[in-house]
Amino acid sequence: MRVLAVGDIVGIPGREYIYNNLNRIRSKYNIDFVVANGENSASSNGITPEIAGMLVERGVDVITMGNHTFGTKTAGKALEENPRLIRPLNYPPEFEGRGWVIQDLGFASVAVINLIGRVNMSPADCPFRAVEKALAEIDADVVIVDIHAEATSERIAMANFLDGKVQAVFGTHTHVQTADEQILPNGTGFISDVGMTGIMDSVLGVKKEIIIDFFYNPGKHFRFEKADEGDVWFNGCIFDIDDKTKKVTAVERLRFSRIDD
């Protein structure tokens, strides 16, 4: 089984790239299941029911979120209406949506869990205890975890905490793909950050002139605008999972701007 994790989809360029290319990517790499982070897929931040529906229609099996989950007025509606859209599990239970979902592919069931870190992030419940509790309730052949976190150490700690308990752990949020893809001692695949799918000529998907000014003139009020011109880079990671042992046998990073059939 081949699972593809797609890095944070940023704005119109990022989501249009997914709409137009994901099925070709699935075909070229023989992908069975796709998880994509969509917390920045709206023009501002967050997601809408329309964007969530289109991402699923164009080949995303489960959409995960993060600290910008409720960045649009209709995000709560999207979470309630779309069963393939999940938000961080360790958010307060009063929030709309849920933190994990199971998809039945016919030949295997796949659970996806969404967590958010606590280091340099807004307050949230403990992701370690939250995922531990969820795993006691989940009955699936394969479990994939998106840990949306700022600190690399927190993501690596989570991966080792879950080693042998889930098939794959991948990080999102920092938008920069890391070169630490690996298989942990007990068979769990891991990468600290899968990167982003958005405009490459930017600062993490935001217009670079704005971010340069932000650092050059600290204290000044800024309105961040997402970059909308230039090549879009697709960032993702493939996890190969053995059908019998349910352990990861290979982890492959993907990073390109154009996909050839």
Please report the pLDDT score of residue 221 as a whole number.
Answer: 80
pTM of the model: 0.95
What does the domain layout of the chain look like in residue ranges?
A: 2-256
Chain centroid to CA 256: how far? 17
Chain centroid to CA 250: how far? 19
Architecture (CATH level 2) of domain 2-256: 4-Layer Sandwich (3.60)
Rg value, the chain, Cα: 17
Task: Answer yes or no: 221 catalytic.
Answer: no
- Contact criterion met (CB below 8 Å) for 127 and 147: yes
Q: What is the pLDDT along the chain (261 residues), one digit of tens a residue?
A: 999 999 999 999 999 999 999 999 999 999 999 999 999 999 889 999 999 999 999 999 999 999 999 999 999 999 999 999 999 999 999 999 999 999 999 999 999 999 999 999 999 999 999 999 999 999 999 999 999 999 999 999 999 999 999 999 999 999 999 999 999 999 999 999 999 999 999 999 999 999 999 999 988 887 888 999 999 999 999 999 999 999 999 999 999 998 765
Q: Three-class SS of residue 142?
A: strand
